[in-house]
Structure 1
């Protein structure tokens, strides 16, 4: 074996592939549906500071067949008004980020945190009014991803997170968490999802560093855990200047282990764009990658579940 072949083989094993080559031919019916199926983007960032303009967000969604969006980012009332029942409103990311930037990660575990105080006080009223449907994206462990100044690691099961879960639990809400797979996270998320059975946990990016079997382990133990597949292709690696192929899918298709996971748990997977970090201009490309490299390799009924029907069910959206 050549050195290059061995390196490629090891890389494929590390990211969950079974072989350095897995090129597939999509089913023609699935490929046709993938081009036109409506999409719910459950990782649509709408920052209030230096974020995209309302009209730009709506235009990009409409141009790409994205009918519903949200789930993360700052709570922007202009976006909520423009999208109406197409919106998946979430709160908490701005407060989480400001607390980390100003006080460091140690404060993120404190439920008396001054940056969480107003949010916790007002959240129940916002849930009751439908102003929010959940909290997200809450970063508990991104120690090996994102800009270095934004990286942190805290325990996911902590007093502040329990407060988020408690409030969401009372209203059947969701919490979208960005963390990384490790034994401690597995224990924490299984405990939280058991203690707060009415809270839906959505794992951003289908849990970075997780193998499909790690996600299957969570799905089979808890009905209230799902994940969304943003940043699991090749685009985000290229934008971040990371020289490795897509974690779940590439231009050659969907990795066999990931296809097996989706086929086994089609009601637990959703889609997202995650054009964070100044990457708004790449929104078209993010959705095109999903329609070209991921969806065509699924059965037609699974395409519809993953693309939008799961989101309609859990967020109580309208068609």
Structure 2
């Protein structure tokens, strides 16, 4: 990657000029990762989950896995509000545009979308708009997206965007001050492309949902390119699960365990940031293991 030479220079300089640290400041956090609360920055509570996983069972799953809080968006938004009303101490609500016939492929063209978003944002304390998909760029969508950006700016909340790099660049071209969380850190994007976009836009945040097995290379070690991303942008990443289908709820224990596994390989200060401290700053909340077992 294009930053590898600089990284090697820094590492070599460190070996030449500084003694090997005897303390544990830069050692991996290891098993102590299990003492950290998790803020799950990518949860959905969609309608098919409501019967299979009632609200109390969702909080029980979070409790069992040390997930103190979560950012929740749902199709429709009623799912998010159900969870938030049941456990307001644990849920940070986020407004997903999808409802009725408006889904991931057509929501920006759905009738009355602006009014729907305004009504829901006025009625409930959403701390973000999203997660929403941008599958392709369409000049006809500019007017709505400018309005969505303004809705977020008026409330000082984030847009949570599922897309490749170009839609992120497009949103910033509409408003360079937009506050954006890049869902899944681009999902199918190669690590080099993720680094490049995060480097290009210093305010861009990302959640790492569905990235746990890319981050864990063969043999269960940190992928070298992802380690560079994590260390370079440690203040801008948040862990997530993405419970987009019930199968993700079925596997929630394993998903959180996989995320704790790669967090365990990081220095304690970095692991804490990605596990929960960055989310505390972004959403103005306090995240603690004391929340486990509460609502």
User: What TM-score, normalized to structure 2?
Assistant: 0.77
In 2, the alpha carbon distance for the partners of 1:192 and 1:219 equals: 18
In 2, the alpha carbon distance for the partners of 1:283 and 1:155 equals: 36
In 1, the alpha carbon distance for the partners of 2:138 and 2:193 equals: 18
1:284 maps onto 2:227 in alignment? no
- Deviation for aligned residue 1:305: 0.2
> Closer, same or farther in 2 for the Cα pair 1:79/1:43, shift >3 Å?
same
1:254 maps onto 2:222 in alignment? yes
1:210 maps onto 2:192 in alignment? no
Structure 2: gaps (5+ residues) = 2-25, 288-295
In 2, the alpha carbon distance for the partners of 1:297 and 1:252 equals: 10
Figure out how many residues of one structure are paired with residues of the other and give that number: 255
- Deviation for aligned residue 1:268: 0.8
> Closer, same or farther in 2 for the Cα pair 1:71/1:201, shift >3 Å?
farther
1:227 maps onto 2:228 in alignment? no
Corresponding residue number in structure 1 for 2:173: 191
* Structure 2 residue corresponding to 1:94, chosen from 82, 85, 98: 98
Query: Which contiguous aligned blocks of 4+ residues in structure 1 show a shift greater than 4 angstroms?
Result: 154-157
1:122-201 to 2 correspondences below 5 Å: 122-126=119-123, 131-141=125-135, 153-155=136-138, 158-181=142-165, 184-192=166-174, 194=176, 197=177, 199-201=178-180
In 2, the alpha carbon distance for the partners of 1:35 and 1:256 equals: 23
Structure 1: gaps (5+ residues) = 1-12, 14-26, 142-152, 234-245
Indicate conservation of the 8 Å contact 1:190/1:218, yes or no: no
Indicate conservation of the 8 Å contact 1:228/1:272, yes or no: yes
1:80 maps onto 2:79 in alignment? no
Indicate conservation of the 8 Å contact 1:86/1:318, yes or no: no
Corresponding residue number in structure 2 for 1:32: 31
Q: Which has the higher contact order (CA 8 A, sep 6+)?
A: 2
User: What TM-score, normalized to structure 1?
Assistant: 0.72
Counterpart of 1:43 in 2: which secondary structure?
Answer: strand
Query: Please, what is the CA RMSD of the aligned residues?
Result: 2.5
- Deviation for aligned residue 1:93: 4.0
1:34-113 to 2 correspondences below 5 Å: 34-51=33-50, 52-74=53-75, 75=77, 76-95=80-99, 98-100=101-103, 105=105, 107-110=106-109, 113=110
Counterpart of 1:136 in 2: which secondary structure?
Answer: strand
In 2, the alpha carbon distance for the partners of 1:227 and 1:298 equals: 18
> Closer, same or farther in 2 for the Cα pair 1:56/1:122, shift >3 Å?
same
